[in-house]
Chain A
Amino acid sequence: MNKAAWSKIWLTILGWLIGAMFFYPIFWMAITAFKTEKGAYSPDIFFIPTLESFGEVFARSDYFLFFRNSVVVSFGSTILCFILAIPSAYRMAFYPTQKSQSTMLWMLSTKMMPAVGVLIPIYIIWQWLHLLDTITGLIIIYTLMNLPIAVWMSYTYFSEVPKGILEAGRIDGATATQELWHLLRPMTMPGLSSTALLLIILAWNEAFWSINLSSAKAAPLTVFIASYSSPEGLFWAKLSAASLLAVAPIMVMGWLTQKQLVRGLTFGAVK
């Protein structure tokens, strides 16, 4: 074999080894979820899988409540984000004014506020408004948190639509609604849906606000898992089963949107 072929084999080994190292904790968690509590502490990879731990997690009657809260909060905030973001993104992409650019940057700058800087007032205001430990309270926070990303991403996808197509539609007598529904929607759908997935991922995994603003009624899965910190964390199989259920759907989404993710996370600075 020549030198190039050998180097490709070495690269393959190295690349997979590093991939395996990074994935190991997740792999280990996934494996342990199917072990018995007694067998969990043994380092075996081969064993008879059991759904015992999942049964126990589900038996904690509130598991589905946490799961439901996570779904409602992350989907709810994402939908609300789009309702608020799309009109402005549309306006700035198709009818830009001199102020558009500075408005975009200003929106981005609201994300630069570290959450911890406003934790105390938000906690107290939420207490005043009776929003503590409510789904609405979390949806509001997550919407505000993700809104700048939603505007930026929608804006970049709208900007990529060739202006000529919309003009041609208008000349052919398309009304504004028709233009939006029949031209813009199909063309920007792929971009906007990956944006939606990114927003769902960010909201699903958010742990600062959820831990501080919710406890029993509105708590999403991040808070539920945090409750395993002690002493239940010693029950590896149960911890793993609960974690696997919380992580798996989002990881699949993340893998699917991988390519668009970079753009969303860097506000379009890296594509």
Chain B
Amino acid sequence: MSVKSPPSALAEEFSAPIQTIDPAEKWRRLLMWPSVVPLLMWMIVPLAFTIYFSFIRYNLLNPANTGFAFFQNYQFLVGDASFWPAVFNTLIFIGAVLIITVVVGVLLAVLYDQDFYGKNIAMLLVIAPFFVMPTVSALIWKNMIMHPVYGSIALFLQKFGIAPVDWFADLPLISIIIIVSWEWIPFSFLILVTALKSLDQEQKEAASIDGAGHFTKFRYIVLPHLEKAIGVVVMIEMIFLLSIFAEIYTTTGGGPGNATTTLAYLVYALGLQQFDAGIASAGGILAIILANIVSIFLVRMLAKNLSQEK
């Protein structure tokens, strides 16, 4: 029987501190402080302020207008003409980039898992975009690749007699999706190709001997093996994509109209351009709620992972 009677459980609890009275342990506990204290503050202080600001009237240009606002900031935000387009844009943007990066990432991982001449160098070329700072990627793509007259895509299409596209005027959100996908495919590729390396080669060979085709092997051996890594990619990308900012800021500024205004850009525009900290904070809270729904799953998965290793 592993159930303890109450007295002995109590006794154990009281005796526990006496057992660990190792004097060094007291000092070792202090070792946690340098990282725990700043992170605790980082977690609590700004969040508390965001919540507080989201419920008060707080305009940086009009300090006279104060007071408790209840849900007015939220009401105003939801009633704002650019709010629903921003939510819609955010979902389309995140959804599209996730699908593109995961699908292309899986295909590339399978391709680069094979052996061919100069594979390692070719891989370096594929992952290179991940190391380019966002403002550089955005401007190079906007001005040099997607330029409607002189851009590389326009010149390329002209060779085939296809009329060039004015990317940022006609397809603004798609243009941003293309740029951000270019930055994040290397991320999903790198993680998936690493995950693929741990796949048991014998399993694949055994399947081949049993007469399984490429597609069957992909569907029943490769994909299930990558499942966890794909989950990690999706969740980490989601956290980053929710705050995507520089690419929009340097290319479209949220426009034309609000065609490329995402939730993150809307919070920036309301808070730091129109100086309404209250309404912007309400937007921030919505972004946090969205992110938390995602992160619960990620943390759970990593927890499982940690306990499996032990």
A-to-B contact residues, CB < 8 Å: 8, 11-12, 14-16, 18-20, 22-26, 28-29, 32, 41, 43, 83-85, 87-88, 90-92, 95, 101, 103-105, 107-125, 143-144, 147-148, 151, 201, 204-205, 207-208, 211-212, 221-223, 225-226, 228-229, 233-234, 236, 239-240, 243, 246-247, 250-251, 253-255, 258, 261-262, 265-271
Contacts and interface: CB of A to CB of B under 8 A. Distances in A.
B21 interface: no
27 contacts: A12-B118, A15-B118, A18-B111, A22-B125, A25-B140, A26-B128, A87-B35, A91-B29, A101-B307, A107-B39, A110-B42, A112-B292, A112-B294, A115-B243, A116-B267, A119-B272, A121-B47, A121-B53, A122-B46, A148-B39, A226-B249, A247-B136, A254-B130, A255-B127, A258-B124, A269-B232, A270-B194
A56 B118 CA distance: 37
Given A19-B125, A25-B141, A112-B292, A254 B249 contact: no
A270 B195 contact: yes
Contact of B25 (A95, A104, A112): A95
B34 to A, nearest CB: 4
B158 to A, nearest CB: 10
Contacts of B301: 269
A207 B133 contact: yes
User: How would you classify the secondary structure of chain B's contact residues: helix, strand, loop or mixed?
Assistant: helix
A120 B31 contact: no
A15 B116 contact: yes
B117 interface: yes
Interface residues of B, number: 103
Nearest to B194: A262
Nearest to A204: B133
Q: Which 8 pairs from chain A and chain B are nearest by CB?
A: A121-B49, A112-B295, A19-B125, A207-B246, A118-B46, A254-B131, A19-B122, A87-B31
A114 B287 contact: yes
Interface in B175-195: 182, 185-187, 190-191, 194-195
Contacts of A239: 139-140, 143-144
B250 A208 contact: no
B160 to A, nearest CB: 15
Contact of A212 (B34, B272, B294): B272
Given A26-B128, A116-B245, A225-B135, A125 B143 contact: no
B277 interface: yes
B155 interface: yes
B28 interface: yes
Residue of A15, A251, A253 ringed by the most chain B CB atoms within 10 A: A15
Nearest to A266: B232
A201 B292 CA distance: 26
B272 to A, nearest CB: 6
Contacts of B111: 11, 14-15, 18
B68 interface: no
Given A25-B140, A207-B246, 19 more contacts: A41-B150, A87-B35, A91-B29, A109-B299, A112-B291, A112-B299, A114-B243, A116-B243, A116-B245, A117-B288, A118-B49, A120-B50, A120-B271, A239-B144, A247-B133, A251-B128, A262-B194, A265-B190, A270-B191
